[in-house]
Amino acid sequence: GAVVSQHPSRVICKSGTSVKIECRSLDFQATTMFWYRQFPKKSLMLMATSNEGSKATYEQGVEKDKFLINHASLTLSTLTVTSAHPEDSSFYICSARDRTYNSPLHFGNGTRLTVT
Amino acid sequence: QKEVEQNSGPLSVPEGAIASLNCTYSDRGSQSFFWYRQYSGKSPELIMSIYSNGDKEDGRFTAQLNKASQYVSLLIRDSQPSDSATYLCAGKGGADGLTFGKGTHLIIQP
């Protein structure tokens, strides 16, 4: 089945630093990847849609200069949280879908970010 | 605006009984529907997909879709404590990503 690998699984950083999270589709090509954020006991919130070879599409209220997304290849998208603050601490999850119409989203294992 | 609605629960079901999870959606253009299970602190995992009206069975799970009523459900037979999780309903229309409901928290009581 389709596998999405996400790294790191857990990261702790200091305020003001930047953190990069990688999302890879291991056995399929993903022209589109999605980045979600989830706070404790809350639902998934779509942050942005990452399109291979073009700019990401951000959801309303998500700062594109703070959450930098790069989708340089059909199997890799990265999310960089710049100048992180404690309120950015959350569970970040990427997902991808192969090119087949109606195919489901497959999720990475998520990254638990803690900003101190 | 596309919406997927779920009762947040918690839904408490005795072990061995049938758990019934429900979902409604607003976008009549949605063609595909998915049920994901999410354990606390983990990412969602796909358990069922359904594309046409009627029932689809996979092991202890049965997904039901009624496009006329814009209604999707998931039945879990012979519920086990390990089924305790949050179940997310999602719909897809067009080329967009999925629209997720807020999830139903299911508790299987031993």
What is the DSSP track for B27-57? -TT--EEEEEEE-TTS--EEEEEE-SSEEEE
Q: How far is B77 from chain A (nearest CA, A)?
A: 23
* Contacts of residue A60, Cβ cutoff 8 Å, sequence gap at least 6: none
Quick one: average pLDDT of B57-62? Answer: 97
Q: Say yes or no: B5 contacts chain A, CB-CB below 8 A.
A: no
Eight-class DSSP state of A116: -
Angle at A7 between CA A105 and CA A106, to 5 degrees: 10
Gyration radius of chain B over CA positions: 13
- Chain A contact probe: residue of B31, B35, B43 with most A CBs at under 10 A: B43
pLDDT (mean) for B52-70? 96
Specify burial of residue B3 (Cβ count, 10 A radius: 0-12, 13-18, 19+). exposed
Residue B88 near chain A (CB below 8 Å): yes
Tell me, rounded to whole angstroms, the distance of Cα A42 from its chain centroid: 17
Using 50 as the pLDDT threshold, list the residues of chain A that sit under it: none
**Cβ–Cβ below 8 Å for B43 and A49:** no
Determine the Cα–Cα distance for residues A63 and A105; give it in Å rounded to an integer. Answer: 24
User: Would the pLDDT of B108 be above 80?
Assistant: yes
Compute how many other C-beta atoms are within 10 angstroms of the C-beta atom of residue A5.
Answer: 14
pLDDT value of position B3: 87
Q: Is A9 helix (H, G, I), strand (E, B) or coil?
A: coil
Measured in whole angstroms, the distance separating CA A71 from the mean position of its chain's CA atoms is: 10
* Contacts A110 to B, Cβ<8 Å: 42-43
